Amino acid sequence: QGSQKRSNSTPETPRPKRTLSSRSPYALFSPNSFSPSATPSQKYVTRSSRGEVVASFGSVQGPSWSGQGGRGCTPKLFGSPEENLTKSYKFMFQKAFDVREVLSWRIEELGDALKSHHHLDDFASVSLPAQEPVTVLGQIGCDSNGKLNAKSAVLEGDREHSSGGQIPLDLSELTEYSLFPGQIVALEGTNSTGKRMVVTKLYEV
């Protein structure tokens, strides 16, 4: 459809008055004009992904349970007490400090794997300025709440070498790359000012 130009309204050429539509409040109110149809559509009725019982075993209508004895028995734990829960436990409850410890251990483990696989030198800190190319270790992050792109990528350094410091990344020197938030990588580049790292090489796990 082409763009419709707004007609100029002048005293010589007045704009024609609009006709009242059936949805207008000035029209006659009726349930047919304002209420949606209660009949489901044909596409919904004829859908093939409905949850239907394809097989059943035994009687499922009103099962009755009965038992005898059991008054004098006492339950015993299998295995050592350290491997069994004997008191109330918060299921799926994690402290932030414990989560951070696991993430830090994971970064160190994958950093050792990167160092041995790519034959890298010792990692440097992301916070210290370096005129020569250095290799740093950390995980990819985003400097905002939006989507990760070439302008918002930051590197959160590991705790051992960088004390968890962050630095923005300049990815213009890389010919190709594929990053996602939380990805653990080793980067080689220059950090002349200590405020932005120009990445020249990317080592992935």
> Can you tell me the mean pLDDT for 10-32?
57
- Mean predicted lDDT score pLDDT of the chain: 78
Q: Which pLDDT tens digit goes with each residue over 31-63?
A: 555 555 666 667 777 777 667 777 777 666 666
User: Higher-confidence residue: 104 or 19?
Assistant: 104
pLDDT at 153 over 80: yes
Residue keyed to tokens 């559509």: 41
Contacts of 156 (CB under 8 A, 6+ apart): 138, 139, 140, 141, 164, 165, 166
Beta bridge pairs of residue 61:
none
Cβ-count burial of 185 within 10 angstroms (0-12 exposed, 13-18 middle, 19+ buried)? buried
CATH of domain 95-204: 2.40.50.140
pLDDT at 4 over 60: no
Mean pLDDT is lowest, of 79-83, 105-109, 110-114, 190-194, for 79-83
Tokens in use for 123? 């990692």
pLDDT at 20 over 70: no
pLDDT at residue 11 in the model: 63
Contacts of 190 (CB under 8 A, 6+ apart): 130, 131, 132, 133, 134, 197, 198, 200
Tokens in use for 103? 């993430």
